[in-house]
């Protein structure tokens, strides 16, 4: 069943906010477009007592992708019960005709893929695919073979999202070789790989670090260096790369602050949304907003989130501003011969050849998340999403 971002908004709000509304995305369609449509991927521990209802409720609030986690989110001793709980609730989801988000399971070991597919039976139709933790050139083949076998059993392709988070990905002397091994392995499974995820928490753990809420992951230099190398090796725009998603933001309630808030007051005052700014600061979302902007600047798309309040911010920042969309169309309209011209907004240079890959990806994002009206700001989009 097709999914569509911002379908939870009132039609009048959509009309007011979007010049071009987000378009439906076919889960079995173009994997690159589907990867961009992941948006804010909400992780839910598989041992939650009301797991199926949680998925339905979050979908109604605009979540388009969820991961039911059997790995780090579940204590070792609780794993059998969590796996049984997951099977029960996925069967529950399969029993009704409700619209669902893309549903992935983060397994702990390759054998769980077959165990889950066998236990679910026909209810496995709910699953989009699997998240593969601590993925390396050594651990990866067993995971990929398990998913291929499950796909053959179900008669349809299951997608995979490997997670780059193991110590050899963190340490400078082993990282590049380890990433190249992953790149070569994924090249043989390109049709199955939906996106590459980054496990910043585990990368930080390799150095005994945890970033504070006042900082972004890009302020933690050893982790930022790892992210840069992941994008360099696995996120290239030459046809060999994959969509790489942003790492998790861990915080959702703000205590006393050390640094000043990272959201300027002016845009909220101009749009008469001062209470919204106060709400964002109280929920510690100003740090998340800054990190998403830096994610996008560094070639990442979408984000792992662990709290429903994060979703609206990630999706609001994913909507393509009118000015950027105009620039992308100018670049693509210039043809392959190249050249340079002032932008439609007369405030920057658009150079056809070097900006073409950026423009192509931005137009894909516009298809998924829509194009804002010239008068629509991030504040407007976020306000509409959070008031829903």
Q: How many Å separate Cα 256 from the centre of its chain?
A: 29
Q: Is the dihedral of CA 43, 47, 50, 51 positive or negative?
A: positive
- Residues whose CB falls within 8 Å of the CB of residue 133, separated by 6 or more in sequence, listed in order: 71, 72, 106, 107, 108, 163, 165, 199
Binding residues: 202
- Residues whose CB falls within 8 Å of the CB of residue 347, separated by 6 or more in sequence, listed in order: none
Strands 349-351 and 159-164: unpaired
Q: Do the beta carbons of residue 300 and residue 195 sit within 8 Å?
A: no
User: Among 320, 283, 304, which residue's Cα sits nearest to residue 217?
Assistant: 304
User: Among 18, 30, 1, which residue's Cα sits nearest to residue 360?
Assistant: 30
Q: Do the beta carbons of residue 328 and residue 363 sit within 8 Å?
A: yes
- Residues whose CB falls within 8 Å of the CB of residue 235, separated by 6 or more in sequence, listed in order: 196, 241, 242, 243, 244, 299, 300
Phi and psi, residue 49, nearest 5°: -65, -30
CA distance 250 to 120: 31
Binding residues for Mg(2+): 202
Q: Do the beta carbons of residue 193 and residue 242 sit within 8 Å?
A: yes
CA distance 290 to 285: 9
Phi and psi, residue 268, nearest 5°: -75, -35
């Amino acid at each position: 069943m097709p999914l569509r971002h911002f379908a939870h908004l009132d039609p009048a709000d959509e009309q007011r906010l979007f010049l071009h509304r987000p378009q439906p995305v076919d889960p079995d369609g173009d994997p690159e477009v589907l990867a961009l449509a992941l948006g804010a991927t909400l992780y839910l521990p598989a041992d939650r007592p009301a797991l199926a209802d949680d998925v339905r409720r979050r979908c109604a609030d605009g979540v388009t992708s969820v991961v039911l986690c059997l790995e780090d989110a579940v204590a070792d001793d609780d794993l059998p019960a969590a796996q049984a709980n997951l099977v029960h609730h996925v069967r529950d989801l399969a029993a009704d005709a409700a619209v669902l988000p893309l549903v992935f399971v983060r397994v702990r070991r390759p054998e769980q893929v077959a165990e889950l597919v066998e236990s679910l039976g026909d209810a496995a139709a709910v699953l989009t695919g699997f998240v593969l933790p601590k993925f390396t050139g050594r651990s990866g083949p067993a995971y990929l073979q398990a998913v291929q076998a499950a796909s053959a059993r179900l008669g349809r392709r299951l997608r995979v999202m490997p997670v780059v988070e193991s110590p050899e990905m963190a340490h400078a002397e082993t990282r590049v070789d380890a990433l190249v091994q992953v790149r070569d392995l994924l090249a043989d499974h390109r049709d199955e790989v939906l996106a590459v995820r980054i496990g910043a928490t585990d990368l930080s753990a390799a150095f005994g670090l945890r970033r504070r809420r006042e900082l972004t992951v890009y302020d933690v230099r050893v982790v930022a260096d790892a992210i840069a190398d992941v994008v360099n090796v696995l996120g290239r725009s030459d046809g060999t790369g994959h969509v790489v998603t942003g790492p998790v933001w861990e915080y959702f309630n703000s205590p006393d602050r050390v640094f000043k808030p990272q959201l300027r007051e002016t845009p909220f005052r101009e749009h008469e949304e001062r209470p919204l700014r106060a709400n964002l600061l109280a929920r510690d979302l100003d740090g998340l907003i800054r990190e998403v902007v830096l994610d996008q600047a560094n070639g990442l798309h979408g984000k792992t989130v662990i709290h429903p309040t994060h979703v609206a911010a990630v999706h609001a920042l994913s909507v393509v501003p009118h000015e950027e969309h105009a620039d992308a169309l100018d670049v693509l309209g210039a043809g392959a011969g190249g050249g340079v011209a002032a932008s439609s907004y007369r405030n920057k240079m658009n150079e056809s050849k070097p900006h073409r890959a950026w423009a192509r990806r931005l137009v894909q994002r516009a298809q998924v998340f829509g194009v804002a009206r010239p008068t629509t700001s991030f504040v407007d989009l976020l306000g509409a999403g959070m008031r829903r």
